[in-house]
Amino acid sequence: MFESLGEKLQNAFKRLTGRGKLSEADVTEAMREVRMALLEADVNFKVVKEFIGKVKERAIGQEVMETLNPGQMVIKIVHEELTAIMGGENAGLNMADRPPTIIMLCGLQGSGKTTHAAKLALKLKKDGKKPLLVAADVYRPAAIKQLEVMGQRVDVPVFSMGDKVDPVEICRGGFDYAAEHHRDVIILDTAGRLHIDEELMGELQRIKEALKPHETMLVVDAMTGQDAVTVAEHFNEKLGVDGVMLTKLDGDTRGGAALSVRHVTGKPIKFVGLGEKVETLEAFHPERMASRIIGMGDVLTLIEKAQEQIDHKKAEEMARKMMKAEFDYEDFLEQMRAMRRMGPLQDILKMIPGLGAQLKDVNIDEKEMAHLEAMILSMTPKERRHPDIINVRRRERIAKGSGRPIAEVHRLVKQFEQMRKMMKQMGGMEKLMKKGKGGMPKLPPGGGFRGPFGRR
């Protein structure tokens, strides 16, 4: 996501941060590179022109030229202006004062409406809502079946009346069903077309008029770049949308749609789809996205992902076990699985400030995580809970059971032991600090656990 754009912007900034003072010529040259990077990322040319004008005006003003570190000040300005063109702050859903809230999803065929209807339902469910999915696409073959399958995956009911009923009547039926079964959010999965036409818009207008949705959400494919912006303009003009959901943003190395939609249409991006799994829908935060683009990481989203996947009581118990060196392979397995649920490891680590650029040439092999899990699962429950009993014969059996070389099992055991020693010393240091005594324990040679990183 934004890989190509981010790399080019960071290269432009390197020249600025390496100078003690900046001249107007330095800023002009850097802005020329930024302009080219944005245009190559398929950002709308009007957006680029306005953005560059604002940054340049601020960058050659007193607030930059008179600071001790002008290069960093320019980066700060770029960050602020990127945030501004993407909307400034997160725009939440328009919720009804009295339930049910009606959310109407619309967009072209192939944009990911049906899949993202289910993703949105899951997200609302995690927030304590009781959503209902309504299958109002009666034209696309198997659209109703697809929504029913997705509904089962997220454990959310789906209302349908088949493909021979008028979509407006289906939506009305869904509303009655929601009232009867106490569902407080209704998500309407409407039909799309391969292109915008009068028939499509007429149907969507009839649904909107009949149901009066609190939120009309346009779903667009981020990978279509400027086409996504054009589609957003047309839908907003004909239908009037409240917000945009950008899908497939994880596959968009350029970022043109994300950086243009808000500025061109005046409508906020509310959610972004970042993968195929049903959990990969995030609220769109312009400031955090700007930080990711210019290589500053995204700690807040990382914390939110961790909070979603980690049970607080389990985390406290695990911290206690770590401090007492009671941490075992079952704890390690649980920790590893929680990390995997957060998403691809490469993406997670890039959210840590400063790591994005360092990881550019590092191959993080997700298979190694699976290999570690296979080795741990090949241990008996007793071995997982009592790591000290794993002798050479047991290691040979674990290697055969997991299909991994014995050398990998040796490495896993050795590094796990080093990690436990380090935890024990950290626990001892904590006790010393509580008693008010000094002293810093020595760390074991080689440091902590190596983890599933490939080589440069």
CATH number for position 342: 1.10.260.30
Residues 35 and 113 in one domain: no
CATH number for position 251: 3.40.50.300
Residues 267 and 407 in one domain: no
Residues 279 and 346 in one domain: no
pLDDT of residue 324: 66
- Tens digits of per-residue pLDDT, 290-344? 887 776 655 555 555 555 656 666 666 666 666 666 778 888 888 777 777 666 6
Domain of 380 in residue numbering reads as 303-435
- pTM value? 0.66
Close Cβ partners of 396 (under 8 Å, ≥ 6 residues apart): 406
- Tens digits of per-residue pLDDT, 108-165? 888 889 999 999 999 999 889 999 999 999 888 889 999 999 999 999 999 999 888 8
Answer with the residue of higher pLDDT: 349 or 185.
Answer: 185
Is 442 within a domain?
no
Residues 36 and 114 in one domain: no
Is 426 within a domain?
yes
Residues 308 and 356 in one domain: yes
| DSSP per residue, 263-318 | HHH---EEEEE-SSSTT-EEE--HHHHHHHHTT---HHHHHHHHHHHS-HHHHHHH
Which residue from 259, 225, 243, 245 is spatially nearest to 50, judged by alpha carbons? 259
Measure the CA angle with vertex 240, ends 234 and 242; round to 5°.
115
Residues 50 and 150 in one domain: no
pLDDT of residue 66: 60
Residues 265 and 394 in one domain: no
- Number of domains the chain contains: 3
Averaged pLDDT score across all residues of the chain: 80
Is 165 within a domain?
yes
Residues 271 and 327 in one domain: no
Residues 80 and 107 in one domain: no
Residues 353 and 282 in one domain: no
Is 401 within a domain?
yes
Is 313 within a domain?
yes
Residues 408 and 270 in one domain: no
Domain boundary among 40, 59, 85: 85
